[in-house]
Amino acid sequence: MASEAPEYKPSSQEVKLRCMADVKAEKVGWLAKPYIPKGKVTLVEGDPGIGKSWVSLAIATAVTMGAGIPGQEITEPSNVVIASAEDGLGDTIRPRLDAMGADVSRIFAIDGALTLDENGFALVESYLVRIYPALLIIDPLVAYLGATIDIHRANETRAVMAQLARLAEKFDVAVIAVRHLTKGGMSKAIYRGLGSIDITAACRSVLLAGCDAENPQNRALVHIKSNLAPAGTAIGYELREGGFYWTGESSLTAAQILAADNGAGTSELEEATTFLKDELADGQVPAKDVYRDATNMGITRRTLERAKAKLQAKSRRIGDTWFWYLTQSTSPTSSIKEFGDLNQIEAKKEGMTEELGDVNYETTLSMPITEALALWRSEGAPIIHLGPGENCLDLEVLLANPNTLERHLQAVRAWLEKVLKRRGEA
């Protein structure tokens, strides 16, 4: 007699199978329509010193006063929770809030070290239960991800963003995550945020803070991504006389904001290639998911498939599902140990162009490859513009590329020296 099949026991009480007939349709609530949805995560990003933290505190002020940001209706005053890793509570945040007229009795700051891991999320949840705020600000997001999270790996950032989204939905709180931009190279604003594109994909709204390259006093928040409503018009603001001032509707665009350091720009194909490298960095991904994520990023199917061909990405069928994956030779996650230090790379110069000649890598970069890579990644893996249509996205790949030119190495060295000088002055 055949034995009975063992009873299946779910491994998690959080995962359920629900019939859509049992799911009640809900309307999206707004803290500021269409810019900041309730129960969702919104990104506010921009270059350092452009006023991102001022903007987030101005929004917090509006929430505590029930005043709303420009163009918004008056609402009930509500509580705000702030986690700020870069600005002091007493010497920066409180004076700014006072200058803007915030009701500081409604604003609560997380004071102390916080990492958004299992324990960190439990702590934040305990605060949300107690305060029940309308707004949670995390400034900047990267500072709270912890040393074990690689912000450029989609699978690692995805887990954190999913937990953040869960908290937002559970407490119907609008979450604003502040993020810095990378250093140039991308013509599309949506690609310029520091870290994995998955951070951007996980957010329902993204606001770019910046100024006109030709008129730095002309600043604005530009709505560059909106999944839940048509994008809103840009909102202007000024920083003057030690204070923050909304200036109403602005004509400033994302292209104007990014023009200052965009160089010769990056083609749609290069942007699609960057997206696809990140999408497949952790292994094979169902083709339908790749197409979906690309569409969310504004990449056409044709451009995506050209990027696939450029990267020599492969397809394989498992059961009824097609997967895309990178081969070992094109994968951006190769081991640092494979290359050793710069002296060991000397043997890799066979087949290089004549323009490189007998370049000594150690002399050119003035440090071993392991140190250069550590600096590169600690600064958020920047993009260095090398020339028309050329951008250095991955230092490790650049140094191992047989077509590397001396001017490429000189550009990298200039950046490395700038970082060392800045750290020495700090």
pLDDT at residue number 376: 73
53 phi and psi angles, rounded to 5 deg? -65, -40
What whole-number distance in Å separates Cα of residue 263 and Cα of residue 391?
10
pLDDT at residue number 167: 94
Task: Report the sign of the C-alpha dihedral through residues 65, 69, 74, 79, in that order.
Answer: negative
What whole-number distance in Å separates Cα of residue 248 and Cα of residue 233?
10
What whole-number distance in Å separates Cα of residue 141 and Cα of residue 85?
9
Domain layout of the chain by residue ranges: 26-261, 268-325, 336-425
Give pLDDT tens digits for 9-64.
555 556 778 899 988 888 889 999 999 999 999 999 988 788 899 999 999 999 99
Token look-up 């890799």 returns: 348
Model-level pTM?
Answer: 0.58
Q: Which fold has domain 26-261?
A: Rossmann fold (3.40.50)
Both tokens assigned to 271: 């942007």
Q: Evaluate if residue 67 carries a pLDDT over 90.
A: no
Q: Which fold has domain 268-325?
A: Arc Repressor Mutant, subunit A (1.10.10)
Beta strands 174-180 and 135-139 are parallel
* Average pLDDT value for residue range 224-228: 90
- What's the pLDDT band for 150 if we cut at 50, 70, 90? confident
Q: Which residues contact 399 (CB under 8 A, 6 or more apart)?
A: 339, 342, 345, 361, 369, 372
- What's the pLDDT band for 155 if we cut at 50, 70, 90? confident
Give pLDDT tens digits for 345-367.
333 333 333 333 344 555 677 77
Q: Evaluate if residue 91 carries a pLDDT over 90.
A: no
Contact 93, 106 (CB under 8 A): no
pLDDT at residue number 123: 93
